[in-house]
Structure 1
Amino acid sequence: MGLTALAIRNAKPRTKPYKLADERSLYLLVMPNGAKYWRLSYRWSGKDKTLALGVWPEVSLADARDKRDAARKMVADGIDPAVEKKRRKLRAQIDGNTTFKGVAEEWLAKITREERAEVTLRKVRWLLDMVYPFLGEMPLHEIEVQEVLAVLRKIEATGRYESARRMRSVISRVFR
């Protein structure tokens, strides 16, 4: 017999943590401070493991069951859900830190270490400074071709065709 929303709401804290079992290895861990955590027990490579699925009431009973089913499917497909969760978290953190400006600054530091001429570095910085207001804070993987084209057209609209051409080249090198 599975849990009900009423049973979850009525679960009172005790002096020690305790579990309220649902179905198929899903349970609610009730802590002495009253916090209620969704957990899933599973076996991976012959070892018992536990996966955190969220905190009640932010994660409802139906959501916890959906997450349980997804995790069990991963186990059936040969994927450890805990490792996959860590990978997704790391990927999201990396994606959030890779703005156009951040990558451009890394590339600029690289070409500076390669001892490019100071006049070249000044020109590149000048071109990048014109791009930053438009693309600087955007995550690199979210920038579309049309957005780059819009920036280049704004520069061309002022009559600076050669600057726009060089800017396209610099933006392309940052992406590479």
Structure 2
Amino acid sequence: MLADARNVMPDELKFEGDKAFFTAALDRADLILHGRNSYEDQPNSPRRKRIILTRHVDTIAPDPANPKATLWNPACTPFEAACRHAGVDSGTVAVIGGPGVFGMFMDRYDVFWLSLAPHVRLPGGEPCFPGVPARSPQDILAAHGLRAGEPQMLDVADEVAVTPWRRSA
């Protein structure tokens, strides 16, 4: 789960090691892609170029609240057109957000970093992918041609780890 039943990421799901890993990954990305309800709320956030998925625009539009952001309606316009509008034609795109956003790109990820906090339970929470909890996140990633790499421990005390799931060659 990404959030609790109120669609809020509770404090018990926040770990310093995971936050540091996430922040570093976003700092390396050329473009951040997320849903309109997602945000990182970090010191570097205003400096990051981003595409925000929304149905509140017809196709693509600049975000009036953020000069580094492009609003994109994926139902009407291809992702590549949104990237061109954002001024990005190559590089790393970091996809963050909820199950709908993650689900749209399942067949396009080169790598998906799956963090797990095994001692946190969020009954009725927001799942990470469409199809969870009927299937595990790992089963869904594997079904889309991704294979697990070596997990990296982010928080020893709480056993929080991140595993890279890479596209098969």
| TM-score by shorter chain over 0.5 | no
User: How would you bin the TM-score normalised by the shorter chain?
Assistant: under 0.3
**Higher strand residue share:** 2
> Between Structure 1 and Structure 2, whose CA radius of gyration is higher?
1
Give the TM-score, by structure 2 length.
0.20
**Higher helix residue share:** 1
Give the TM-score, by structure 1 length.
0.20
